[in-house]
Structure 1
Amino acid sequence: MPRPEPLAGRTAVITGAASGIGRALAQRLSAAGCPVAVADIDESGLKEQFNGPVLRRVLDVRDAAAVKEFAGEVRSWAPGRIGAVFNNAGVAIGSTVLGAVAEDDDWLHSINFQGVVNGVRAFLPILVAQDSGAMVNTSSVYGLIGVPNQSAYCAAKFAVRGFTEALRQELRGTGVRAVTIHPGGVKTNIARNARFRADPEGRGRTHEQIAAEFDAIARTTPERAAEIIHKGVDRGKARILVGPDAYLVDALARLAPTHYFDIIARLRPRKASP
């Protein structure tokens, strides 16, 4: 199979671009000469300055009609072919299954999974028509293993993984690729912006304390994550693991598919009493 064209100089579309991995990707690809079409529900976060052409749109990825309209705008605006569409927008929840609030789970699923589906449905016809480009969907290491107190997040990220892998098989024989991203712990605001009704572990931690614990174990910067993703897409990878913890989780899921969390629990530092 021939090596795909590098992204440099080709248009990149990025949702969830106002912060974290999305913003770092937009900055990196713009610096590489890519016109960037960036979208996020956070209007203030989209005011980042870029090196070259940029199309900014306030967008709720849950709104399929709005995402389709955005795709039409990008098609008209893009100077040349689209190199990649990064369906990256995502949110988080911390809750046990027993304590879950239905509207919180629905909110997460509508963004983390249905938002990806909406992006694929809107932009895939453009990529297929040009017979090139990559559809790059953000899953997670939580799309590789099940994690306590993350049932909604795991469900959505497993769904992104399965959806993208099925799409990849449908695109066999075409010039379009489907790529799954599995980040480990990345230093973003996802935990700080997550929905928590109560400490799911029953230790009485505040939302800020839970976010601080996530920050303490997240080893990968957004900039490093963007570099890994950019290089992975350029190399034609179908599945990109981001961070050393992602490689560890992937190995555990393969080697101990029903006992991986026993090993992870032993590797974690002991928790202090509240």
Structure 2
Amino acid sequence: MHSFQNKVIVITGAASGIGRALAQAFHQRGAHLALSDINMQGLEETRSLLSGQGQVTLDVLNVADRAAFSAYAKKVVDDHGQVDVVINNAGVALSETISNMSYDDMEWIVNINFWGVVQGTKEFLPHLLQRPEAAIVNVSSIFGIIALPTQGAYNATKFAVRGFTECLRQELKNSSVFVTTVHPGGIKTNIVRNGRMKTSMTGDKSLDEQAKDFEKMARTTPAQAAETIIRGLERRQRRILIGGDARLMDRLQRLMPVRYSDVFGWVLKKLG
């Protein structure tokens, strides 16, 4: 997809972070936007930062709610007349050991991070297939490629997004819909502060301490992440790695598919 002029772009989780940056970048390129989040105030702030001329609609959406997602997809088509790109970006974080993790926490993150992607894909896919050129962009994580302690639930959802999306890509290879999986590394967003961070990878730390540690390690800005995603769409990259840390971890996992955990264990010990 080489031009986004007059394309209708659906972005979930658009009230902040990568979702907001994507909205800004696409709007500057002449796209129309259907933005959703659970936070309407954040969506309004996103709209205030847009500098393009395209139509923008804002909707409160809980991506874990299947009925709400179905109604939302119909509303987007009614509002815009078409859908060209769907970016399933909404996601949350959970840090806890598997032995201590509650079923409630597990269901919470699975419903948002995985079912939100499934529902965003399935509800919009019939509309995308009607377009001469379309795309589905599902945001996984570098934690959809490697696994680390206390990230069992998050790993499970992001590995699931990766598997689901790579299967979908193969199923749609002869269609007009391009499919890609995005694997961000550390991005300067509020995902840690807004998550359920109960046990730290690097020891017994408060939420504020964990957030500060994350902010130190996160080297990539949301704007940089958005530009990488758009460049990946333009180049039809089937896997989009964001940040030097993501590329490094991906290479390490390829070189040491089992023993990479020993390397990260040593790093985490030093950080603790």
TM-score (norm 1): 0.93
Contact 1:7 1:84 in 2 (8 A): no
Shift of 1:32: 1.0
What is aligned with 1:36?
33
What is aligned with 2:122?
121
Shift of 1:269: 7.5
Shift of 1:202: 7.9
Per the alignment, do residues 202 and 27 of structure 1 end up closer, same or farther by CA in structure 2, a change over 3 Å counting? closer
What is aligned with 1:11?
8
| Runs of 4+ off more than 4 Å | none
Shift of 1:207: 0.7
CA distance in 2, matches of 1:184, 1:196: 18
Opposite residue 18 of structure 2, the aligned amino acid is I
What is aligned with 1:58?
60
CA distance in 2, matches of 1:244, 1:266: 20
Opposite residue 248 of structure 1, the aligned amino acid is L
Number of residue pairs aligned between Structure 1 and Structure 2:
267
Shift of 1:265: 3.5
Contact 2:193 2:207 in 1 (8 A): yes
Residue 82 of structure 1 aligns to a residue whose secondary structure is coil
CA distance in 1, matches of 2:202, 2:164: 34
Shift of 1:6: 2.5
1:101-155, Cα deviation, whole Å (9 max, x unpaired):
1101110000000000000011000011224210100000000011111000000
What is aligned with 1:253?
253
Contact 2:202 2:271 in 1 (8 A): no
CA distance in 2, matches of 1:114, 1:236: 25
What is aligned with 2:136?
135
Shift of 1:196: 2.6
CA distance in 2, matches of 1:145, 1:271: 18
Shift of 1:92: 0.4
Contact 1:14 1:87 in 2 (8 A): yes
Instruction: Structure 2: give runs of 5+ residues left out of the alignment.
Output: none
Matches within 5 A, 1:1-274: 4-47=1-44, 48=46, 49=48, 50=50, 51-52=52-53, 53-78=55-80, 81-197=82-198, 199-201=199-201, 203-267=203-267, 270-271=270-271
CA distance in 2, matches of 1:168, 1:78: 26
Per the alignment, do residues 202 and 261 of structure 1 end up closer, same or farther by CA in structure 2, a change over 3 Å counting? closer
Opposite residue 27 of structure 1, the aligned amino acid is Q
RMSD of the TM alignment (CA)?
1.6
Residue 12 of structure 1 aligns to a residue whose secondary structure is strand
Shift of 1:9: 3.0
Shift of 1:177: 1.2
Contact 1:9 1:35 in 2 (8 A): yes
262-271 or 96-105, larger mean C-alpha shift: 262-271
61-70 or 176-185, larger mean C-alpha shift: 61-70
CA distance in 1, matches of 2:201, 2:85: 39
Residue 270 of structure 1 aligns to a residue whose secondary structure is helix
Instruction: Structure 1: give runs of 5+ residues left out of the alignment.
Output: none
Opposite residue 60 of structure 1, the aligned amino acid is N
Shift of 1:215: 0.6
Shift of 1:267: 4.6
Residue 22 of structure 2 aligns to a residue whose secondary structure is helix
Residue 270 of structure 2 aligns to a residue whose secondary structure is coil
Residue 113 of structure 1 aligns to a residue whose secondary structure is helix
Shift of 1:252: 1.1
Opposite residue 9 of structure 1, the aligned amino acid is N
Contact 1:62 1:110 in 2 (8 A): yes
Per the alignment, do residues 128 and 234 of structure 1 end up closer, same or farther by CA in structure 2, a change over 3 Å counting? same
